[in-house]
């Protein structure tokens, strides 16, 4: 079996030094930047991410913990499987500091010792039940759900979706790709999303891809290939210290794998769920965690998320199933 690494990125937005640096670099006119508070909020539950990995995915080869140099005071830097990675260890110095998750993610392939097969976690994605390597990789390829979609903007800063598609449409011919990978795109694993693919077949170009907010499964070589083919685009995003309208985002790397056919079809929602934290959803979230109804849960937030109340109840639910300290803690 191939070695599979996990990568998790983290920031402590409560750190006074981080706040000082953030404000020092913030452009006077930041109307075109996405600096919403929920992009940086610290939920004080990172220890449950590590406990979940150790308990439910003990087979993981290595965990690359990525931050700007911040490290939780409880984290054990000597844990055998832990690789502490600072932004300055792999992102060129001229692009630092950065306060955007996009440059941090788009350059992950530069991390020393990173496996060819790795899973990228945001720090809002947690393992809450046993998960096998085959959830992420089969036959050496990432497992993913392939389906077409359309771009349907709901909030500002959706230009990233257009920017991602420009990269894909300039690199792949849609119908040629479908002929080569027909059974991957028309697999039963797509479920009801298969209808979207069928309805969007007549369009000559890619109109969008179905996107799930779950851990992203990657080949390191995908990053290297996209950088080689589209270095100008990748550098432009790397150079933006805050999210900007000209950016691409890490989804472009997933879309590349789908368009190229370097994936194995899998209904990922069978294993994981993404929920927006709200007053209406809070009880549901707590039940999913405590009863371990899924193997993976990702918790999204917006400006209406009841932060303090939700943090208390969600972390209490994590504590019920992950009360035992992991080897990643002092």
Q: How confident is the model at residue 42 (pLDDT cuts 50, 70, 90)?
A: confident
Distances (CA, A) of 283 to 27, 288, 314: 39, 9, 9
What pTM was computed for the model? Answer: 0.94
- Is residue 291 over pLDDT 90? yes
Average the pLDDT over 284-313 and give the result.
94
pLDDT one-digit tens code per residue, 48-66:
999 999 999 999 999 999 9
Strands in 272-276's sheet, in edge-to-edge order, are: 125-127, 296-300, 272-276
Q: What is the CA radius of gyration of the chain?
A: 19
CATH annotation of 4-146+212-321: 3.90.550.10
Q: How confident is the model at residue 90 (pLDDT cuts 50, 70, 90)?
A: very high
Output b/e per residue, 142-165; b: 16+ Cβ within 10 A.
bbbbbbbbeeeeeeebebbbebbb
Structure tokens belonging to residue 240: 């933006």
Q: How confident is the model at residue 30 (pLDDT cuts 50, 70, 90)?
A: low
What residues contact 98, with CB distance under 8 A and at least 6 apart?
A: 87, 91, 104, 238, 240, 241
Give the residue extent of every domain in the chain.
4-146+212-321
Return d(Cα 307, Cα 310) in angstroms, integer.
5
The residue with tokens 């932004």 is: 87
């Amino acid at each position: 079996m191939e070695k599979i690494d996990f990568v998790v990125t983290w920031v402590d937005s409560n750190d006074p030094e981080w706040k000082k640096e953030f404000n020092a670099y913030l452009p006077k006119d930041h109307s075109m930047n996405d600096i919403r508070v929920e992009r940086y909020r610290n939920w004080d539950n990172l220890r449950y991410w590590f406990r979940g990995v150790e308990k439910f995915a003990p087979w993981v080869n290595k965990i690359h913990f990525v931050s700007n140099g911040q490290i939780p005071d409880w984290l054990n830097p000597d844990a055998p499987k832990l690789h502490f990675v600072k932004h300055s260890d792999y992102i060129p110095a001229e692009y630092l500091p950065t306060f955007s998750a996009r440059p941090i993610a788009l350059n992950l392939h530069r991390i020393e010792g990173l496996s060819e097969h790795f899973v990228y976690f945001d720090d809002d994605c947690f393992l809450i039940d046993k998960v096998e390597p085959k959830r992420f990789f089969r036959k050496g390829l990432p497992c993913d759900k392939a389906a077409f979609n359309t771009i349907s903007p709901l909030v500002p800063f959706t230009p990233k979706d257009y920017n991602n598609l420009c990269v894909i449409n300039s690199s792949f011919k849609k119908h040629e790709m479908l002929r080569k990978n027909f059974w991957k795109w028309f697999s039963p694993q797509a479920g009801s999303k298969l209808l979207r693919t069928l309805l969007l077949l007549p369009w000559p170009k890619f109109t969008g891809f179905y996107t799930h907010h779950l851990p992203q499964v990657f080949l390191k070589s995908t990053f290297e290939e996209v950088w080689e083919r589209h270095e100008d685009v990748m550098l432009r995003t790397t150079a933006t210290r805050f999210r900007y309208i000209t950016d691409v985002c890490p989804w472009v790397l997933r879309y590349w794998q789908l368009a190229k056919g370097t994936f194995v079809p899998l209904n990922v929602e069978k294993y994981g769920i993404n929920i927006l934290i709200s007053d209406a959803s809070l009880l549901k979230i707590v039940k999913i965690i405590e009863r371990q109804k899924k193997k993976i849960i990702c918790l999204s937030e917006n400006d209406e998320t009841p932060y303090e109340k939700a943090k208390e109840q969600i972390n209490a639910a994590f504590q019920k199933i992950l009360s035992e300290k992991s080897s990643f803690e002092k």
